[in-house]
Amino acid sequence: MNPAHALTPILDLPEDQIAIRLRGIANRFGKVTIHENLDLDVMRGETIGIVGGSGTGKSVLMRGIIGLRQPSEGQVHVLGYNVWSGDAGQRQALDSKWGVMFQDGALFSNLTVHENVLVPISEHTNLPKSLASEIADLKILMAGLPLSSAHKLPSELSGGMRKRAALARAIALDPDILFLDEPTAGLDPITAGRFDELVNELKETLGLTIFLITHDLDTLRDACDRVAALAEGRVIAIGPLDYLRQHATGWLAEYFGGPRGRAALGLVGG
């Protein structure tokens, strides 16, 4: 990665090297402004970590990218397409090019793991049921779950297994981009570390671009190429984790300077 490209939210790169391009994004809820004139580029093939304090709109920003809530202002381009252009056919095609793992997994509680993974396959393809079922089983295995879990309900799984089931569903269609919202929240350190390793393996295997929202400094250290910090309605800092640590001010300095931050960052040479 070119160091110059690592340190600016707007990259001087051809369109075909950019997975996500945000320009002039504003998100407002009544009189409350969450984002104002926010710019960000995400390179194809990178894992970018998104951090920010409570209320900085990390999930709101993601929802605008994946078409769940239109920003009040600005342009959202994913893989060269305008997400909010109003072209229904284009939007349907884009939906199959990204996979999303929401913060709580968002699995259908009345469906088994296998049935949950089948949902996007059934919605976006016309594959024979037998082939679709085989693909669902493969994704379950790729997410690190045994096939014995395929016919269990989410309530019958541990927290870590539910995260992996949600991940299996997110990669069901071999997406180009994977969105992960607090993927290790609530997991013990060992399980969280294994999940980070799995995400890295899937990135290499599937050639993914990963947009990862997290508070977990270990995940930022172990899984992210760059980190973008949100505050004051925009991206206030971006770059490799060690760069952000060395140049942190304000909220970011407090974030890195706490006991957990010092413990994690001590492992990256600080």
**Tell me: the pLDDT tens digits for 153-164?**
999 999 899 999
> Would you place residue 227 in the very low, low, confident or very high pLDDT band (cuts 50, 70, 90)?
very high
The answer to whether the pTM exceeds 0.85 is yes
Give 37's DSSP letter.
Answer: E
Cβ–Cβ < 8 Å for 75, 16: no
pLDDT of residue 12: 78
Is 54 within 8 Å of 38 (Cβ atoms)?
no
| Arithmetic mean of pLDDT over the chain | 90
Q: Is the per-residue pLDDT at 5 higher than 70?
A: no
Question: Is the pLDDT score of 259 beyond 80?
Answer: no
Chain segment 164-223, per-residue pLDDT in tens: 999 999 999 999 999 999 999 989 999 999 999 999 999 999 999 999 999 899 999 999
In the beta sheet, which residues pair with residue 230? 52, 235
DSSP state of 242: H
Query: In the structure encoding, which two tokens stand for residue 215, read together?
Result: 């508070």
- Phi and psi at residue 231, to the nearest 5°: -170, 160
Average pLDDT value for residue range 225-235: 95
Lowest-confidence pick of 21-25, 141-145, 149-153, 245-249: 245-249
How far, in Å, CA of 223 to CA of 190, rounded?
A: 15
Residues 158, 113: contact at Cβ < 8 Å? no
Separation CA 12–CA 15 (nearest Å): 9
Asked whether residue 265 carries a pLDDT value surpassing 70, the answer given is no
Given a contact cutoff of 8 angstroms between Cβ atoms, the answer to whether 211 and 231 are in contact is no
Sign of CA pseudo-dihedral 151, 154, 156, 158: positive
Higher pLDDT: 8 or 163? It is 163
